[in-house]
């Protein structure tokens, strides 16, 4: 009798631990990518759920739509030359850089390759290596190498503009590059090919002396540029869905002819910064997109207390603090009044470092899809 009771108890326990997929999915959708990748080993059923492209889309959409979506945002810190092994993933929303970072695995990079970060979209980064481009999802480790456009013959460092984005209408990742003033090429990951973009009688050169990487906002990539035809500084933008260019005016009294100036995102809005004059960084925010009169000089950061008296903003935290680089290897955080809150240097690379924001995602690149094997046991 006792044996029958024990068998019945075990049977009930098994039933109590079982949950149907329609109950499991809403729960695990809220988990971070790192946990989900581990849970793929739980069973074939969980492997199938988490590996499903539709699950990856739902996970990303939930993360970006949530009021606390910053918790899925990370900062990649990348040395420029010989210290790639010190590449870090940093939770910039934490109170201190010192306790919320971990190393990223970058063994796929050639030694002394000096990779350049050239874009971030849907959790995937665009890197430029010495002989090709590379798409990399730091959350999953997925990578894909891309060749340069056949007509481009010079070193990438001379390219005028570079942008990386996504077209939801075709479910396609796109890369846009410019080598000369009016020669733009567009790469489609889905078609795996480059095509020239027609621009009629328009010639642009990059104004930024910090990067030539575009800032992506709502499917449009933006660069600080100079129009040789109209002899005026402006923001050049490329719409990945419409496959078209547009120009945005700068503030009427904005002067980009300082040591450092570039576009950035502050509080989710298109912004500009100028730094280098009198140990001050000015940040302008476009409150209403495309409207010149909506430009506002929102923040003036006095950099006298900063280690190198230079500040290049990258992003804002959930609490409204501003995170940026110090012009060398340091990561800086200041509040909305421009007061220094935190600073850390992660390496001693003589050429400095670079950093970019990405949102954790499960998105796979085509060559990654068949690499994982499901667990042998079935729940």
pLDDT tens readout for residues 154-198: 544 456 788 999 999 999 999 998 876 667 899 999 999 999 887
Q: For residues 26-48, give the mean pLDDT.
A: 90
Q: Which residues, 6+ apart, have CB-to-CB distance to 144 below 8 Å?
A: 134, 135, 189, 365, 366, 367, 368
Quickly state the pLDDT bin for 67 (edges 50, 70, 90): very low
Q: Is 176 in contact with 186 (CB distance < 8 Å)?
A: yes
The answer, yes or no, to whether residue 293 has pLDDT greater than 50, is yes
Confidence of residue 346 (pLDDT cuts 50, 70, 90): confident
Lowest mean pLDDT among 10-19, 141-150, 225-234, 347-356: 10-19
Residue-level pLDDT at 216 = 95
pLDDT at 63: 85
Cβ atoms 132, 148 nearer than 8 A:
yes
**Closest C-alpha to 263, from 220, 333, 208, 308:** 208
176 vs 368: which has the higher pLDDT? 176
Average pLDDT, integer, range 211-239 = 84
> Bigger pLDDT: 347 or 314?
314
280 band by pLDDT with thresholds 50, 70 and 90 = confident
**Rounded CA gap, 316 and 323, in Å?**
6
User: What SS3 class is residue 58?
Assistant: helix
Mean pLDDT of 367-373: 49
Q: Is residue 2 helix, strand or coil?
A: helix
Tell me the pLDDT tens digit for each residue of 305-337: 787 778 889 999 988 899 999 877 888 999 988
Q: Could you give the C-alpha distances from 145 to 86, 100, 108, 206, 213, in angstroms and in order?
A: 22, 30, 11, 26, 19
- Averaged over 263-275, what is the pLDDT? 91
As a whole number of angstroms, the longest Cα–Cα distance in the chain is 94
**Strand runs labelled E in 129-192:** 133-136, 143-146, 161-167, 172-180, 183-188
| The predicted structure's pLDDT at residue 370 | 44
Q: What is the mean pLDDT of the chain?
A: 82
Q: Give the pLDDT confidence score for residue 368 in this predicted structure.
A: 45
Best-predicted range by mean pLDDT among 14-23, 75-84, 154-163, 260-269?
A: 260-269
| pLDDT band at residue 212 using 50, 70 and 90 as cut-offs | low
């Amino acid at each position: 009798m006792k044996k029958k009771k024990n068998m019945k108890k075990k049977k009930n326990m098994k039933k109590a631990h079982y949950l149907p997929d329609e109950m499991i999915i809403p729960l695990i959708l809220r988990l971070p990518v790192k946990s989900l990748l581990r849970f793929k080993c739980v069973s074939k059923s969980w492997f199938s759920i988490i590996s499903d492209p539709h699950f990856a889309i739902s996970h990303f959409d939930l993360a970006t739509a949530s009021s606390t979506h910053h918790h899925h945002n990370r900062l990649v810190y990348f040395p420029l030359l010989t210290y790639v092994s010190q590449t870090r993933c940093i939770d910039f929303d934490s109170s201190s850089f010192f306790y919320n970072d971990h190393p990223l695995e970058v063994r796929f990079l050639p030694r002394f390759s000096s990779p350049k970060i050239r874009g971030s979209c849907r959790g995937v980064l665009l890197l430029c290596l010495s002989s090709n481009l590379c798409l990399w999802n730091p959350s999953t480790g997925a990578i894909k190498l891309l060749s340069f456009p056949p007509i481009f013959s010079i070193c990438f460092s001379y390219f005028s503009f570079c942008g990386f984005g996504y077209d939801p209408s075709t479910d396609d990742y796109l890369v846009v590059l410019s080598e000369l003033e009016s020669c733009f090429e567009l790469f489609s990951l889905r078609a795996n090919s480059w095509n020239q973009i027609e621009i009629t009688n328009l010639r642009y050169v990059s104004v930024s002396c910090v990067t030539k990487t575009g800032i992506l906002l709502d499917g449009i990539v933006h660069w600080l540029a100079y129009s040789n035809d109209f002899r005026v500084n402006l923001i050049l933008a490329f719409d990945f869905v419409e496959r078209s260019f547009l120009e945005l005016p700068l503030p009427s009294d904005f002067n980009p002819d300082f040591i450092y100036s570039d576009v950035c995102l502050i509080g989710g809005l298109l912004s500009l910064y100028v730094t280098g004059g009198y140990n001050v960084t000015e940040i302008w925010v476009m409150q209403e997109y495309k409207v010149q009169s909506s430009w506002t000089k929102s923040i003036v950061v006095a950099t006298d207390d900063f280690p190198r008296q230079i500040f290049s903003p990258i992003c804002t935290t959930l609490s409204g603090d501003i995170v940026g680089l110090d012009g060398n290897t340091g990561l800086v955080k200041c509040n909305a009044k421009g007061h220094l809150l935190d600073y850390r240097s992660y390496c001693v690379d003589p050429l400095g470092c670079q950093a970019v924001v990405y949102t954790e995602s499960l998105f796979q690149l085509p060559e990654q899809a068949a690499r994982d094997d499901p667990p042998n046991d079935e729940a």
